[in-house]
Structure 1
Amino acid sequence: MTLMGEGLKKVAGNKLELVLYRLSGTPIKGVLLGTGVTAVIQSSSATSVMVVGFVNSGMMKLGQAISVIQGALIGTSITGWIICLSSVEGTGWVSLFSTSTLSAVVAVVGIILRMFSKRSADQHVGDILLGFAVLMFGMQAMSGAVAPLKQSEAFIQLLVTFSNPVIGILVGALFTSVIQSSSAAVGILQALSMTGAVTFATAYPIILGIAIGAAVPVLLSAIGAKADGRRAAFSYLLIELLGVVACALIYYIADAIFGLGINSWVVNPVRIATVNSLFRLATAVLLVPFNRQIRGLVTLLVKESKGEKSINRELDRLEERFLQHPALAIEQSRLTVNSMARAAEGNLKAAVKLMSDYSEEDRQRIEQTEELVDLYEDRLGTYLVRITARELDAKQNESVSKYLHTLSDFERISDHAMNIAEAAQEIHSKKLRFSEDARRELAVLTGAMLEILELAVSAFVESDIEKAYVVEPLEERIDILCDEMKIRHIDRIQQGLCSLSQGFVFNDILTNFERVADHCSNLAIAMIELHGDSYDTHSYVINLKELHSHNFDALYEHYTEKYSI
């Protein structure tokens, strides 16, 4: 089941998690999406663990999570219907569609795709087919192995014991909590039903118990989560408990009053799949109208721990639980890197403003933001490296490479913001004042530096390659401006128009501005080169300048006129 579910998820393009995250806005949407995603990945626990991650990182509200979990409980019943195919047999031409024949054909096709195809999509289809074939073979083997139990008095007596609702529910819950898969537990019950010794009175309470036991892996996933994450996990257990109590009371009271007479029915795999699906559907229908009350109850029962406040909500996106789902982990990394980029950009702009309007409070804020950007780099770098251990497609590899290549540039831009803030502090404390020519030149360079910063960051955040091509001509102009300004400032010092102390600070500012432009160039080049499936910064710059590609000359002339001293 795991092999088949993973294959289905990969064939779907690894986008199911993103769909679940983006489109679960209303209760009905949440239920439908939870059902659909779980039907594909064949595990309500996996869907619910994802949801716990969404809530824990602040990406999804608890109310949305409850709806998705209710849908996941419906979707997990699909596996029971797939398992029903293992009981298809016949004679004559019907035997061509029997489980044995179908499993053999599917297995051969799966092996061919898995072993001989070079396309990853074909290999994933092979995984699906092999998973299906093994599932069918396993169910047949299990059914054959348990067939003699029909003659066992001890086995029949045990089943009679399970017909006691309390015992049956406890056994189902305990068994499922051990194997941690409700689909597998239902499949085993279906295999036992092929002995012909399992009645409805035995199967029904076990199915109810299986639902409760399925909450164990979800609860375990919430260990270490914040209050909202724990509430989402507990809501899974609460929904299952309420559903079991409601469906048990409805059936057993109705049977006592009206004598339904179905307790003695002998069940088979199809009947078990039907009962399981109806129970799951009834749970959702009964509880969806009370989602607000369920949310209030879990909020009341699961308290927020002291000292649980987040250092930074953006960093909460980097959820450990998302690493099992690369598409989702990369999307959260993208959003977090974008936040880091904007933080570095804002910090540099604040530092530039500090040179003309100094405030110690603003300088301290710049220092705090610099520490935050350092934390971004550390957390993101570790998280992205862990993503690379997963199976990624070409597009995902490109995204992860882009983020890993650019983290240090954003961090260094913020470092230079801190350096500029320290220069502003020195100007303020020593009451330094540059000459009129120096101030005019610095204003021109500042305008160019802020423009290249905005260009590079917006190109990165918006994944705009055309904007990235504009960065290098402006960076070339800034380099020349810095060289000219250093020469002119030396002349002013020699003429006595500026002092040595002013010269040191002025030179530090120029160096930091030039380095910021270099890092902006690195960002743009990383985007362009990785977009073209290569990463050779040196050769790119040479080609851009020597071949005069992408309007380099025209753009350079434009910036030469715009930023002249």
Structure 2
Amino acid sequence: MPYPDRRTLLLALALCLVGVPALAQGGGEQGLDWLKLIMSSIGGLALFLLGVSEMASGLGCVAGGRVERWLHGATNGPIRGLATGVAATTVLDSSSVTIILLIGLVDSGLLNFAAALPVILGSNIGTTVSSQVFALGVDDYAPVALAGGLLVRAFVKNEKVRGWGQVVAGIGLILFGLNILGDAMEPLKEHPGIVEWLRATETPLRGVLIGAVFTLLIQSSSATLGVVITMAGQGIIDLPTGLAMMLGAEIGTCSDTLIATIGRSRAAVRAGLFHLGFNLITVAVGVALIGPLAALASWTSSETQHQIANAHVAFNVIGALAFLWITPLCARLLERLVPERGDGAKAEKAPA
């Protein structure tokens, strides 16, 4: 997981690249303070990412060993594997961390490659919990969580309790960052240049590309969903645009797991490729069916931010369940595509 300072630098570049087209389309006439808006946005997302890092670190202290034991024991059937992935990702609040832990277990031979596939599917469901939290709009209570967590860290001696204090403080930072982002972005919904530029992102493929690149730059699909849901809550983007960006985040989040497979065993590489292939296929289907997905999301709520969060859940649950029963087939296919080292040479010598 990259350090927050690296993420912040990449985020600054991303926000500048996103802001340039809108700024070039006549930002001055609305009297927007662009420097203040960009700096506030960078600060808000930097706090969000720092909160994610702090929460993950705290959870690693209080539950890291337990999660590894869960993952190690996830070999008794696809349903248990799926449930393990959901639980582990909910606890760690990061599908990337869960899958990277899986890759390490597969690489070391402690977990069978085929048994890891349902856990990967479960991790995609577990990551939807954070989008539901963001959509609730509880960021006004950020100072309570932040202050409570810091007080625990300052005055409690028990390391496990201090770890939970770090988790709560991290949640406070995440919510505080979202609050700052929301306040910073509110003026954009009245800006004609921004409105026109965002209309162009209603093309699903462009929205997917923006979501994927943004997630690749900041290395956090949760942060991308947080920004998308915040913009939807402010009325800056509509449902189809938000759904397209959500789908793009599903692709961008694969970068962490692919990097984690470098230098690993062939089995570990197969696990990373399964995650990428699953996300590419489900996103392609999601783009093709974005109309029905939007209709389903509209039926679940009258507010755009809740619609996007609910669509995120439905998309990942349906995709995971659709793939769950063919994971043995996927495992055999990947074993052919990525054979063990030396298998090719043996195959060539066999006819002789």
Aligned-partner Cα distance in 1 for 2:242–2:58: 31
Counterpart for residue 153 of structure 1: 192
In 2, Cα distance between the equivalents of 1:270 and 1:298?
37
- The alignment status of 1:37 with 2:76, answered yes or no, reads no
Provide structure 2 residue ranges, at least 5 long, that are not aligned to the other structure.
1-51, 345-352
Q: Is the 8 A contact 1:186 1:207 kept in 2?
A: yes
Q: What secondary structure is seen at the aligned counterpart in 2 of 1:23?
A: coil
- Structure 2 equivalent of residue 107 of structure 1: 146
- How far has the Cα of 1:13 moved from its partner? 6.5
CA apart distance, 1:267: 5.3
Task: Flag the 1:13–1:214 CA change in 2: closer, same or farther, 3 A.
Answer: closer
Give TM-score scaled by structure 2 length: 0.77
Q: Counterpart of 1:142? A: 181
Q: Look up the SS of the partner of 1:127 in the other structure.
A: helix
Superposition deviation, residue 269 in structure 1: 2.8
Q: Which amino acid in structure 2 is aligned with residue 183 of structure 1?
A: S
User: For 1:197 and 1:220, how far apart are their aligned partners in 2?
Assistant: 34
User: 1:11-64 CA distances to partner (integer Å, 9 max, x unpaired)?
Assistant: 337311112112332111110000000001011011111111121122222221
Q: How far apart, in 2, do the equivalents of 1:208 and 1:304 lie?
A: 33
Pairing 1:62-141 to 2, within 5 Å after superposition:
62-85=113-136, 87-88=137-138, 99-100=139-140, 102-141=141-180
Distance 2:155 2:123 in 1: 35
**Structure 2 CA distance, aligned partners of 1:235 and 1:7?**
29
Q: 2: distance between equivalents of 1:106 and 1:240?
A: 34
Map of 1:374-393 to 2, 5 A cutoff? none
Counterpart selection for 1:229 from 268, 272, 280: 268
Aligned to 2:326: 290
Q: 2:340 aligns with which of 304, 323, 329?
A: 304
Structure 1 residues 298, 267: CA separation in 2 closer, same or farther (over 3 Å shift)? farther
Task: Pick closer, same or farther for the CA change 1:13–1:225 going to 2, 3 Å.
Answer: closer
Equivalence map 1:235-274=2 (5 Å): 235-252=274-291, 254=292, 268-274=304-310
Q: CA deviation at 1:262?
A: 5.6
- C-alpha offsets along residues 216-275 of structure 1, whole Å, 9 cap, x if unaligned? 0100000001211111111000111121123333444x589xx98969x98533222111
Tell me the SS of whatever aligns to 1:59. Answer: coil
Distance in 2, matches of 1:260 and 1:6, equals 36
Matched letter for residue 197 of structure 2: L
Residues 198, 266 of structure 1: 8 Å contact kept? no
SS at match of 1:197: coil
Deviations 1:39-97 (A, max 9, x none): 01011011111111121122222221110000000001111122234x24xxxxxxxxx
Identity within the alignment, %: 28
Q: Which letter maps to 2:83?
A: L
Q: 1:261 to 1:19 in 2, by over 3 A?
A: closer
Is it true that 1:183 corresponds to 2:234 in the alignment? no
Structure-to-structure mapping, 1:321-340, within 5 angstroms: none
Root-mean-square deviation (CA, aligned residues, Å) is: 2.6
Q: 1:297 to 1:178 in 2, by over 3 A?
A: farther
Letter in 2 for 1:58: G
Deviations 1:431-468 (A, max 9, x none): xxxxxxxxxxxxxxxxxxxxxxxxxxxxxxxxxxxxxx
Q: Which runs of 5+ in 1 are unaligned?
A: 89-98, 309-565
